[in-house]
Amino acid sequence: MGKTAYTDTPRHLLCKRIPTPPYGDWSTRHYVGYDEYAATGGYVALRKALAMTPEAVINEVKKAVIRGRGGAGFPAGVKWTFLPPVPEGKLPGDPGAERYLAVNADESEPATFKDRLLMEFDPHQMLEGIAICCHACKLHRAYIFIRGEYHLQAERLETALAEAYEKGIFGEKCLQLSGANTGGQKFRVDCFVHRGAGAYICGEETGLLEAIEGKRGWPRIKPPFPAVEGLFGRPTIINNVETLCHVPFVIDEGAAAFMAQGVESSVGGPPSYGTKLMGMSGHVNRPGCYEFELGIPLRRFVEEHCGGMRGGKRYKAAIPGGVSMGILGTDQYDAELDFDIGRKYNVLGLGTACPTVFDEDTDMVAVARNITRFYKHESCGQCTPCREGSGWLYQILTRMTDGDARSKDLDIVLELAQSMGTMPGTTICGLADGNNWAMKTLIGKFRAEFEAKLRPTFVTATVGAS
C-alpha cells in the first residue's frame, strides 16, 4: 500500500534510462534503441503479459490503480473494462469486430513537457505498454496521435516503431501470434504514428478521434463514449503516453511494487500511487522535467530540486499542472502534488503535474490576460458559450491590463466564467472549464490586484425637489 505522507525514496520507474537530476546528468541523455532497451529489462513485461490471460493482465493493472497521467486521473485498468466483449466466433480485426487503442501524445496543455521526454529518449517503453494493452483489451490496431510541433519526437518514435516491427513486437512477426495466451486464436497488432496539426483541442479525447479519422478536431457529444463507439465507430481505449509507460513496470514487478510508491488519499478519495513526471517551469533556478513519487510538496520540489526561486525572490503563486487547473495562492506553497490537490486547495485538479511557478513581482492580471488569450485562440468554435465567452474574457482582461476597465468589469468576468463549461452544462468539452477555473481561482486568490486595475463605476443620480 502507499504511504500516508511523502517520503523521498528515490526510485525512477520511468526515467531509469533517462538521466534526470538529482540522480543523473541531463547532458548524458540519449536515444535508447531496441537493443539497449531489451538489454536493460525491456520487453520482459510483454513476455510475462503474453503468458497471462487478458483478464489477468487487466486485473493487475486495476489493482495497481494507475490513474491517468494525461490530466483526468481516471484509473486505466477500470477504463479497460469498459470495452464490450468481442463478438463470439470473431477475432479483433475481423469485419464487425474491430477495436482500437488511441494513444494521446498531443501534450498541448501550456507549460506541459513530460510525454515528449519519454518519446524523445525512451520510446520503446511506451511501445511495450501499447503491446501489453492491446493484448489485455484484445485490440488489433493502435494509433499514436502526436503533437504536430513534436518533430524530433515523431522521428524518434518512427525509428523505434520500425525497430519494434523488425523485432516482432508488432506486425506479421508479432509476439502475440504464438497463440499461447489467446486460447489458440491468433491475431496481429499494428501500430501507427499520426501527426497532428498543432491544435490544442485535439488533446480532448473525442477531438483526437476526429483528427485521426482525418476530420476537423471538433469534440463529440457524449454518450456514446469512446469505449463503446470511438474511432471509426468502433470500441476504442484512449490512454496517455505516461500512463501506458507505467504498465510494463506493473506487469514486471507487480501491482504491490507500484503501490509502494506514492501516497494514500488524505481526503477519503482514490489513492495517488506510483511516480509522476513533473515538468517544472517559471521563476526557478533549474527548470526541467523530473520524476518523483506523487505527493511531493511544491515547496520541496522548488527549493530542494530546482535550486530555489530565481534571483532569490519570494514565491507568490503556481499553476499546478497546466493553465486549465487554476492557480495555487501565496499561502499554498506547501501544497502536495497528488490527485487530492483539487479538493484540498481549490483548483480543478492535478492535471499534468507540470507546475509553473511565479515570483513576487508577477502581475497576476497579466497572467490572467495571457491565459484568456490562449483559450480564445484555441477554442474550436463549436459551442457558443466557449467561442464567445473566451473572446469576451480576453477583451475585458485586456482592458484591465491597459487601465481602461471599470469596477463592473470584474463582476462581468466572474459571471462569464461561471456560465461557460461542461460543469455548468453549456459546452461539449472541457476547454471552457479550463478557462473559467483559471479566472475564478486567479480572481479569488488575488482579487486585490484585479481591483487595483479598475476605475470606479459611478451611476449619476438626480435628486428632485421635494
pLDDT, tens digit, for every residue of 226-242?
999 999 999 999 999 99
> Angle at Cα 156 formed by Cα 124 and Cα 197, nearest 5°?
115
Q: Is the pLDDT of residue 168 over 80?
A: yes
Q: Give the list of residues 6+ apart from residue 228 with CB closer than 8 angstroms, or none.
A: 82, 84, 235
Strands (E) located in 55-199: 100-105, 141-146, 190-195
The mean per-residue pLDDT over the stretch 420-436 comes to: 89
User: Up-side HSE of residue 309: CA atoms within 13 Å toward CB?
Assistant: 16
Mean pLDDT of 288-297: 94
For 315, the enclosing helix (H) or strand (E) is strand 315-319
The SS3 assignment for 99 reads: coil
Task: Name the amino acid, one letter, at 8.
Answer: D
Query: For cell 499553476, what's the residue?
Result: 319
Q: Is the pLDDT of residue 186 over 90?
A: no
The residue type of 165 is Y
Does the pLDDT value for residue 180 go beyond 50?
Answer: no
Give me the helices (H) in 294-430, please: 298-300, 341-345, 364-378, 384-402, 407-418
Grid cell in block for residue 387: 467561442
Give the chain's radius of gyration (CA, Å).
24
**CA nearest 366: which of 332, 331, 402?**
402
| Nearest residue to 357 (alpha-carbon basis) of 400, 307, 432, 413 | 307
The dihedral formed by the CA atoms of 35, 36, 41 and 42, expressed in degrees to the nearest 10:
-60
- Average pLDDT, integer, range 357-372: 96
In this structure, what C-alpha cell is assigned to residue 462? 438626480
Q: Please, what sign has the CA dihedral across residues 426, 431, 433, 436?
A: negative
What is the DSSP pairing of strand 141-146 with strand 190-195? parallel
The residue with cell 499546478 is: 320
pLDDT confidence of residue 185: 55
- For residue 87, the model assigns a pLDDT of 84
> CB under 8 Å, gap of 24 or more: what pairs does 35-44 form?
37/122, 37/124, 37/125, 38/167, 40/16, 41/252, 42/124, 42/125, 42/128, 42/248, 43/124, 43/128, 43/169, 44/248, 44/252
Q: Is the pLDDT of residue 212 over 90?
A: yes
Alpha carbon distance 72, 362 (integer Å): 29
Q: Cell 480572481 belongs to which residue?
A: 443
Cell of 250: 506493473
Q: How large is the greatest C-alpha to C-alpha distance in the chain, in angstroms?
A: 99
- Smallest CA-to-CA distance from 123 within 151, 148, 157, 152 is with 157
Q: What is the pLDDT of residue 176?
A: 57
* Rounded Cα–Cα distance for residues 302 and 333 (Å): 10
Percent of the chain at pLDDT exceeding 70: 95
Instruction: Verify cis geometry, omega within 30 degrees of 0, for the bond prior to 223.
Output: yes
C-alpha cell at 255: 501491482
How high is the pLDDT of residue 97?
86
pLDDT band at 12 (very low <50, low <70, confident <90, very high): confident
Secondary structure (H, E, C), 215-276: CCCCCCCCCCCCCCCCHHHCCEEEEEHHHHHHHHHHHHHCHHHHHCCEECCCCCCCCEECEE
Residues 35 and 170: their CA atoms lie apart, in Å, by 16
Q: For 277-303, what is the mean pLDDT?
A: 95
Q: What is the pTM of this model?
A: 0.92
User: Confidence band (pLDDT; 50, 70, 90) for 413?
Assistant: very high
Please report the pLDDT score of residue 10 as a whole number: 65
Residue 442 has pLDDT above 60, yes or no: yes
Decide if 390 contacts 372 (C-beta within 8 A).
yes
Q: Detail the DSSP E strand segments found in 108-189.
A: 141-146
Q: What is the pLDDT of residue 177?
A: 45
Average pLDDT of the segment spanning 146-159:
95
- For 49-70, what is the mean pLDDT? 94
245 within 8 A of 237, measured Cβ to Cβ: no
Give the mean pLDDT of 363-392: 94
- Give the position of cell 532569490: 312
